[in-house]
Amino acid sequence: MNESILLPLLAATVQSGTPILYATLGEILTERAGVLNLGVEGMMLLGALAAFWASLSTGSPWIGLLAGGTAAALLSGLHALVCLVFQGNQVVSGLALTILGTGLADFWGTPFIGRKAPGFGTLELPVLADLPVLGPIFFQQDILVYLSLLLPVAMWLFLGRTRWGLGLRSVGEYPRAAAAAGLPVLCYRAAGIMGGGFLVGLGGAYLSLAYTHLWTNGLTAGRGWIAVALVIFAFWRPGRAIVGAYLFGGVMAFQLRLQAMGTNLPSSLLLMLPYALTILVLALTSWRGRFTDAPGWLGVNIEPEE
């Protein structure tokens, strides 16, 4: 494979992995607070539609981006209500959230199928864009790609170096101790769910405003489920989420290019590749027995007396 093919493929890998990275970071933030949210796919779809509609209505992709994050955060608020107030099962609530978000996006989005909305274009960074190899791959992208590269660093600093971040982790690790220390446990958990939902919505907004610039039903194509799996692959660490997101983004970009080149492999087999890789990664991660990094109270509701 020569340079004229490899560099565009790697650049497409970064672009394809960016929405997965946003969604994975959002789920990491939620699970660090001790709450499992399997509704990422539905939140991404609703965020993508809200971003598309707001950008189309106002002509501003930035307003669209904000709308996408807000819509997904509001949807995740339902998960917070069910799990924190009514003590509902987190797995069932998350699955219901996916079904609800997917249904709403399909219902409201059908009139917009095939339409284009103002979005984010390529923004070449001076000097850095001219670097050999790295320039075409990382620094000739849109601004949301650059923000996604800064986000893991910001989240690492937040979770490890700030009072709010340490409080969030403590309610996920051992909420009784956090409550004994005077922390409002339910408030921290709710903030983790809503904040994570906002990031997931940004991932959906990236798909409709930067990746495709148009709307079609089922736009996420399973990326939300991949993001849930990547949280385990990343061991709940924001830095490792970059590696996982680009790994899966690379597989998606590769299979699209193989189809464009007219390969003889069945298209259904190529479309299956990212999900087969998801199963393989989860199996290998489990085999290594490294789930010790999971928050201690992940998926466990807090009873009122606790």
- Taking 80 as the threshold, does the pLDDT of residue 266 lie above it? no
Indicate the domain borders of the chain. Answer: 3-116+135-287
Whether 253 and 16 have beta carbons less than 8 Å apart is answered as yes
pLDDT tens digits for range 139-159: 999 999 999 999 999 999 999
Can you give the pTM of this predicted structure? Answer: 0.93
> What is the average pLDDT across 294-305?
83
Joined together, the tokens standing for residue 149 give 């590269």
Question: Can you give the pLDDT at residue 292?
Answer: 61
Question: Can you give the pLDDT at residue 269?
Answer: 74
Question: Can you give the pLDDT at residue 173?
Answer: 93
Cα 238 to Cα 231: distance, rounded to the nearest angstrom: 9
Q: Is 7 exposed, middle or buried (0-12, 13-18, 19+ CB in 10 A)?
A: middle
Q: CB count, 10 Å around CB of 121?
A: 10
- Taking 80 as the threshold, does the pLDDT of residue 166 lie above it? yes
- Taking 60 as the threshold, does the pLDDT of residue 96 lie above it? yes
Whether 237 and 29 have beta carbons less than 8 Å apart is answered as no
Which of the two residues, 302 and 66, has the higher pLDDT score?
66
pLDDT tens digits for range 189-242: 999 999 999 999 999 999 999 999 889 999 998 899 999 989 988 889 999 899
Which of the two residues, 118 and 3, has the higher pLDDT score?
118
Q: CB count, 10 Å around CB of 50?
A: 29
pLDDT tens digits for range 56-86: 999 999 999 999 999 999 999 999 999 999 9
Which of the two residues, 253 and 237, has the higher pLDDT score?
237
82-91, 253-262, 295-304 — most confident range: 82-91
Question: Can you give the pLDDT at residue 305?
Answer: 62
Of the pLDDT bands very low, low, confident and very high (cuts 50, 70, 90), residue 276 is: confident
> What is the average pLDDT across 11-31?
95
Question: Can you give the pLDDT at residue 294?
Answer: 86
CATH 1.10.3470.10 fits 3-116+135-287, yes or no: yes
Question: Can you give the pLDDT at residue 261?
Answer: 74
Cα 121 to Cα 119: distance, rounded to the nearest angstrom: 7
Question: Can you give the pLDDT at residue 268?
Answer: 73
Whether 64 and 55 have beta carbons less than 8 Å apart is answered as yes
